[in-house]
A and B are shown apart, each in its own frame.
Chain A
């Protein structure tokens, strides 16, 4: 996934670059472009859904008490409660469709170096 995000959206280049010295609008311009491409790349390989499809800030009954699915925060009673205020809807990867790497691919290479011949 990291390799794909680098290939399609150059995410690693962005994260690993020291951006402290650049003006906000310079960073903003780059991020806008990068944001579009990252989102496209993620959407292509993963279909994302909220875990609880409801309005954040509203009272919600919990669909499960499985700590994988729901995390209770705040004044949590001894027994898991049946609901509370939804603070974050969560993310679930409903389907993941990543290419299967071939046996000959070097998986430690996230992005190959590029050499241009003039």
Chain B
């Protein structure tokens, strides 16, 4: 695996996240600030991507459709494919490719990424567009990916001429289901597109980082040992991933524990099925549609569906109009209606049926001879695919800590939604209801949905955010205090002249305790001197990683614990007289790295000792 430089090149001024999607690509970036305010959240922005939207017309759009159109001489008037940075571009990428491809599918390369992950074909051979007529020069899946990446690089360079993309730290996301070859090919495509420093990041992780970017209170919502199910339903693909919140070297980390198959089933299937329902209703009235009208019906059904599923929408039906073809527009207009019931029924019976967790998707019938093509899913029921995914064994043995119910079903504690289809609340609710029913069967509490926003750009944003985090800028995701902290306790021993009373160390902050969290220290009480100046001694250790809060360390080697400069404080006593109060401890580490040690007396009185754990870290 030839992952390039792990650290940002010194010339890098930005971290760039690229979501190279199956149907749409996006680019997000964040400036690398030399000395950032650690408490401030990173500002990740989505870059508008200039692209041809009509012949001769370049416009900025937030997404670059991952589509490539290979024009013939009769497709576009000459000179109308010029980009701001290339007047003679012989092919079209993006929105115009999508528009023209709908009219002439034979020259349209689509789903290059699915082909890139299809082990059944030679992925470097020119085989796309798959159903191109004779005489069209085809391209390989890797070449198509290269052209999308090249377009993004050129768009970047046009926008930031003094910070070319090849000098920036770039993260490109890939599905977790990509095999080693597909990853290698993605890197190769990036290199051929003029990228120099590329790191790959898995999409579900990026989606999760995007969620973290948006929720500064994430530490309160996700804890060590949690299992997050990432559900990503895009235009043409569905991916499931399980991410465990783990601990590595005292830091909170994310590790992927299970990856589902790359399922070729997505929002387009839903829209097509809705169009099918409507066109069947039209056929019953005696109206037949030609292929062009079906295409319009498909896209209008998508719009109508989105309107019906909008949050807060009360409408139970939405008109779908297909204008007449040819110049006879009004005369040929066909009107139909899409009902909310249609969507409900389709999801209920087709895509998200409330099945039992033991129901597996129908397997493809194996016919001896098969046409080579993309392995489309044979079963449209996403819930059945999910059931199979949750029953499959974990990806690696080392992550045996997957929470499972009595029947062996993996039981996530949280669900993170990603992908355009899941913008619709109805779809999310249905999926969650089915999952919660399974969890209830296993005797587990329902999974908590992690609401994301901006699902179309989440992966790109998360990638940029992750890039910042690994440079140590922005909020650290795996952030934990890289030291164990102790408070010094004077031993209760007979005084020996000339020798100070030996010091014991009580663990108050365990290794890797996260900023913004608190811990109650169990165990015995200690006497706290109040009402007169007293010295408080704190110790730290970078090597003792297993001490738990409340552990009292008596014998420690001199270099194992490092004593911090002592603090002399006079804590206020209630009655004015000095006394020794029995107290127990609570420690809090704030978001800004301040350790507060609270001494709590039995009667509820509290005293606070605090110092900065960040400055102490040498």
Contacts and interface: CB of A to CB of B under 8 A. Distances in A.
Contacts of A22: 330-331
A102 B327 contact: no
B77 A106 contact: yes
Contacts of B522: none
Interface string A97-117: 001111111100000000010
B323 A33 contact: yes
Given A29-B335, A102-B82, A34 B54 contact: no
B90 to A, nearest CB: 15
Contact of B77 (A16, A27, A33, A105): A105
Interface stretch (A6-14, A49-57, A78-86): A6-14
Contacts of A105: 56, 77, 79-80
A10 B321 CA distance: 14
A117 B52 CA distance: 26
A30 B322 CA distance: 8
Interface in A16-71: 16-17, 19, 22, 26-27, 29-30, 32-34, 44
Nearest to B300: A33
Contact of B330 (A19, A101, A103, A106): A19
Interface residues of B, number: 23
Nearest to B292: A116
B383 to A, nearest CB: 35
Contact of A14 (B56, B57, B80, B329): B329
B329 A102 contact: no
B517 interface: no
Given A10-B323, A106-B77, A30 B56 contact: no
Residue of B319, B327, B328 most packed against chain A (CB within 10 A): B327
Nearest to B82: A102
A15 B331 CA distance: 13
A31 B22 CA distance: 36
Contact of A10 (B57, B77, B329): B329
Nearest to A103: B79
B80 A26 contact: no
Interface in B309-355: 319, 321, 323-324, 326-331, 333, 335
Contacts of A27: 330
Q: How large is the interface on A (under 10, 10 to 19, 20 to 34, 35 or more residues)?
A: 20 to 34
B330 A30 contact: yes
B78 interface: yes
Interface in B265-306: 292
Residue of B319, B326, B329, B335 most packed against chain A (CB within 10 A): B329
A105 B54 CA distance: 13
Contact of A102 (B59, B78, B324, B335): B78
Contacts of B78: 102, 104
Contacts of B56: 99-102, 105
B327 A13 contact: yes
A13 B330 CA distance: 9
A33 B321 contact: yes
B329 A13 contact: yes
B188 to A, nearest CB: 35
Contacts of A103: 79
Contacts of B327: 13, 16-17
Contacts of B335: 26, 29
Contact of B331 (A17, A32, A102, A104): A17
B319 A14 contact: no
B323 A104 contact: no
A13 B79 CA distance: 27
Contacts of A17: 327-331
Contacts of B58: 99
A97 B610 CA distance: 60
Contacts of A100: 56
A102 B54 CA distance: 12
Interface string B419-443: 0000000000000000000000000
A57 B335 CA distance: 39
Nearest to B325: A114
Contacts of B79: 102-105
A44 B292 CA distance: 25
Contact of B57 (A26, A33, A99): A99
A12 to B, nearest CB: 8
Nearest to B87: A102
Given A99-B54, A105-B79, A30 B323 contact: yes
Contact of A32 (B54, B59, B319): B319
A44 B331 CA distance: 28
B48 to A, nearest CB: 14
Contacts of A44: 59
Interface in B72-121: 77-80, 82
Nearest to B333: A30
Interface in B39-67: 54, 56-59
Contacts of B326: 13
B77 A30 contact: no
B54 A29 contact: no
A102 B77 CA distance: 8
A29 B321 CA distance: 7
Contacts of A106: 77
Nearest to B335: A29
Contacts of B82: 102
A29 B333 contact: yes
Nearest to B106: A117
Contact of B333 (A26, A99, A101): A26
B590 to A, nearest CB: 48
Given A103-B79, A104-B78, A104-B79, A30 B329 contact: yes
Interface in B579-600: none
A27 B77 CA distance: 34
Residue of A13, A22, A101 most packed against chain B (CB within 10 A): A13
16 contacts: A7-B54, A10-B329, A13-B327, A13-B329, A16-B327, A22-B331, A26-B335, A29-B333, A30-B321, A30-B330, A33-B333, A34-B329, A99-B54, A102-B79, A104-B77, A104-B80
Closest 6 CB pairs of A and B: A102-B79, A99-B57, A13-B329, A30-B333, A33-B321, A30-B330
Interface of A: 7, 10, 13-14, 16-17, 19, 22, 26-27, 29-30, 32-34, 44, 99-106, 116
